Chains A and B, each alone.
Chain A
Amino acid sequence: MVTKDVLYKLVVFLATVGIAVGLVPIMTIVERRVAAFIQNRWGPNRVGPWGLLQPVADGIKAFFKEEFVPARADRLLHFIAPMLVFVPPAIGFAVIPWGNQIGSVKLQAVNLNIGVLFMMSVLSIAVYGLAIGGWASNNKWSLLGGLRASAQLISYELTLGLAILVAIMMAESVDPQVIVAKQTRGILSWNVFGGGNLLALPCGLLGILLLYTAALAENNRLPFDLPECEQELVGGYHTEYSSMKFAMFFMGEYVAMVNMSAIVTMLYLGGWYFPGITNPADHSWLGGILSVGVFMAKTFAILFVYVWIRWTFPRFKYNQLMNLGWKGLLPLSLANVALLAVVGVFTGGKP
């Protein structure tokens, strides 16, 4: 039954795209409300019940604003840059396993056996959009923002890769399905707790901390949002953007955030598995939907921490950012990988 399988895949694929785009407006309203709550305010609560329709109002406003291209700007690159920011993180959603399988259909749009590598390579493309957008605007602040974004990404990509490597070493695979399947043997088999080996517990805890810090820097989130800091760079790489082009930059940032949270969930927090709620052997409809719910809940918890961190910590200086990246996180992540390898050797070749 090839056609039936294709149909199922199509449904999963469309649902994935829907999640990717649909989570962005939810995230914007969550971000604004949490920001307000942390500052003892109420935040936007006038449009719709509890302000839930605020993203719709924002979207309508963005559509009706003037589309502005500065004089002597490179029109083609100026046009392409927002797409380059938005599309790669959205593609990255393809290999995320949203849940346990229903019947014989795996809840993953594309079942790639090198999914994690694919995701890493796709996510790093997004920075081209920032650099191109900064360059094409014919504005020195934009250019500086784009340069900062690329320098920052190069510095933190190493830590990100090494932190992902720890999870890959624990699972002994780069296939997202296998990585999640290995973490479904109880809460202690999650990679954050050492992937079933208690001696590897410190590696797991340090690994998720490093991965999360690098993820903050990769997504240009506070405290690492130097490419778009208002004090020095006006607005950074999107200074000269308006209307829906600006909204595309904004949405790209949030899609990348959601994608990164899903990666952290998948690699370290057991994916769709939670003891007592989801059962790996349960392939029914209810079990499948519950597993998607668990994955979503974990992803949202991580997204909440993104927002929480944003409104707690002040921004780094640029030299501090580079110091932390090269002198702090990189040696630490290398030591983490070495430690996990040693633990693996002493516990019978299996970390």
Chain B
Amino acid sequence: MTNYNIGSLFKGMFRTFQHLVGKKATLEYPEEKYIPRKGYRGEHRLKKDEQGRMKCVACFMCATACPAECIRIVAGPSPWPDRDKIPVSFEIDLLKCIYCGMCEEACPCDAIELTPTFTQIATTREEKIYDLQKLMNR
């Protein structure tokens, strides 16, 4: 005689009912945006100090620490007396970047940071190489 086990049928129905009324896993994307947790490593940005000047001193620490070698800096003389150099060009190739956060850890001036922004839109490869202006304005 087969064991039909009616009790477990009702148990299963109860479980599916819990899912019926429970929280939905789907995010309705264009209307509802996903907000990553605090400390999520997304796109980079370069910080500014209190006077609105860039914090970066073009020390190359981030470019040296970078395991993917995606940071390219060209240094130039500084117009301000408190530092020797500032970057003339600061490019991050986000197609190469692995979002490890090493640059942020290596920076002695707390100038570079990874923001929680995780959506990036680009139609060409060139657009994915963020230059100084783009990184500063984020």
| A positions within 8 Å CB-CB of B | 34, 37-42, 308-309, 311-313, 323-324, 327-328
Q: Are A308 and B17 in contact (CB under 8 A)?
A: yes
Residue among B20, B23, B28 with max Cβ neighbours from chain A (10 Å): B20
**Given A42-B24, A42-B28, A309-B13, 15 more contacts at CB 8 Å?**
A34-B20, A37-B19, A37-B20, A38-B20, A40-B19, A40-B23, A41-B25, A311-B16, A312-B13, A312-B15, A312-B16, A313-B12, A323-B2, A324-B4, A328-B4
| B positions within 8 Å CB-CB of A | 2, 4, 9, 12-13, 15-17, 19-26, 28
Q: A192 to B22: give the CA distance in the assembly, Å.
A: 31
Q: Are B16 and A328 in contact (CB under 8 A)?
A: no
Residue among B16, B19, B28 with max Cβ neighbours from chain A (10 Å): B16
Q: List 19 A-B contacts (CB under 8 A).
A: A34-B20, A37-B19, A37-B20, A37-B21, A37-B24, A38-B16, A38-B19, A38-B20, A39-B19, A40-B22, A40-B23, A40-B25, A308-B17, A311-B16, A312-B15, A312-B16, A313-B12, A327-B2, A328-B2
Q: A241 to B25: give the CA distance in the assembly, Å.
A: 35
Q: A39 to B16: give the CA distance in the assembly, Å.
A: 8
Please indicate the chain B residues that have their CB under 8 angstroms from the CB of A42 in the complex: 24, 26, 28
Please indicate the chain A residues that have their CB under 8 angstroms from the CB of B28 in the complex: 42
Q: A37 to B24: give the CA distance in the assembly, Å.
A: 7
Q: Are A312 and B20 in contact (CB under 8 A)?
A: no
Q: A313 to B89: give the CA distance in the assembly, Å.
A: 63
Distance of B30 from chain A, by nearest CB (Å) = 11
Please indicate the chain B residues that have their CB under 8 angstroms from the CB of A312 in the complex: 12-13, 15-16
Write the chain A residue with the least CB distance to B28.
A42
Q: Enumerate the 7 nearest inter-chain pairs by beta-carbon distance, A residue then B residue, closest first.
A: A40-B25, A312-B16, A37-B20, A41-B26, A38-B16, A42-B26, A312-B12
